Amino acid sequence: MMDGDVDDILKRAASAPHEVDREAIKRASDLILPALKPVRPLPSTGVVALTLQVIFVVVAILGATALGNNGIRVLNKLQALLIFAALGVSARLASVAAASEMVPAHPKRIAPPVLLAGATGLFVLVFGVLFYDYRLDRFVREGLSCVGAGLVYAGMAGLLIWLVLRRGYILDPAAAGLAAGTLAGLTGLGMLELHCPILKSLHLMVWHTAVIPLSALGGYLAGRMVHDLGIKRKAAEFMQ
């Protein structure tokens, strides 16, 4: 028997009449049709991604302005160019990944876990290549202060990103949370690069970069929580 024979049998089977639950169709029609209102289609993924990038830029700049633009002043041109180019590329990819999660069946150019690993790895590499001061004095104290500030602004960016994402229809809240959390983490990192004047290699590689995975973890857990609460609510409705 050849594939063509299997194909023929499947086609015959698929073309056979199928018994449909008319009651379910009627219930669905009764729920949907009486309250039908026009809706405006979601803007294109490019436009949504651009909106998310604006949030990234605005929150990072406002945060650094509030705390002091001390970091950008101590970077040389090469360091500034490489760091902000890496931030721009990562934020662009994260914005597209988050925007893609808003539309069911939207092709995914980059999976959120790959995005997170790539962005984290990229900044460890960039900081490792650009900075050679390996002193560890005040490592934890300075580090915790930077992580805290980075996460505060990541949280603010995360809330704004969520306001945009909720306009879509997210099927996988955990993946959307991971992508949004990564973008928010990049915002926190961007703010730190503008604000923090410490150029010690390990401080940057560990504490500044840590804002990305910590924020992504927060986004992922928030997404999981939203999803689980939805299932619990539906299970409760089902049991009533």
Partner 1 sequence: MGERLPPMQPDDDLEELMVGYQQGNSEAAAALIERVSPMLHRYFMVQVVSRRFAGDLLQETWLRIHEGRNTYRPGEPVLPWLYAIARHVRVDGYRKVQRVESRERQVETLPEAGPPPPDGRAPDLQAMLENLPESQREVIVMLKVSGMSLEEVARATSSSVGSVKQKAHRAYEKLRGLLEGFTRTGQGRAT
Binding site for partner 1 (CB under 8 A): 1, 3, 5-7, 9-25, 27-29, 31-33, 36-42, 44, 102-108, 167-169, 171-172, 230-232, 234-235, 238-239
Q: What is the 3-state secondary structure (H, E, C) of 84-119?
A: HHHHHHHHHHHHHHHHHCCCCCCCCCCCHHHHHHHH
Contact call for residues 95 and 50 (beta carbons, < 8 A): yes
CA dihedral 20, 24, 26, 31 (to 10 degrees): -150
Looking at the Cβ atoms of 108 and 155, the one nearer to partner 1 is 108
Nearest residue (CB) to partner 1, 18 versus 141:
18
**CA–CA gap between residue 18 and residue 83 (Å, rounded):** 59
| 41 versus 76: smaller Cβ distance to partner 1 | 41
∠ CA 206-212-215, nearest 5°, is 120
Question: Measured from the CB of residue 105, what is the shortest distance to partner 1 in angstroms?
Answer: 4
Closest to partner 1 by CB, 73 or 234? 234
Instruction: Please report how close the Cβ of residue 11 comes to partner 1 at its closest, in angstroms.
Output: 6
Least gap, CB of 228 to partner 1 (angstroms): 9
In terms of Cα–Cα distance, which of 130, 140, 135, 151 is closest to 74?
130
CB-based contact 107:124 (threshold 8 Å): no
Provide, rounded to whole angstroms, the least separation between the CB of residue 17 and partner 1. 5
Q: How many CB atoms lie within 10 A of CB 202?
A: 16
Q: Which is nearer to partner 1, 12 or 77 (CB)?
A: 12
CB of 162: closest distance to partner 1 in angstroms? 16
Q: Could you tell me the smallest distance in angstroms from the CB atom of residue 111 to partner 1? A: 9
Cα–Cα distance measured from residue 83 to residue 195, given in angstroms and rounded to the nearest whole number? 13
Nearer to partner 1, 170 or 210 (CB): 170
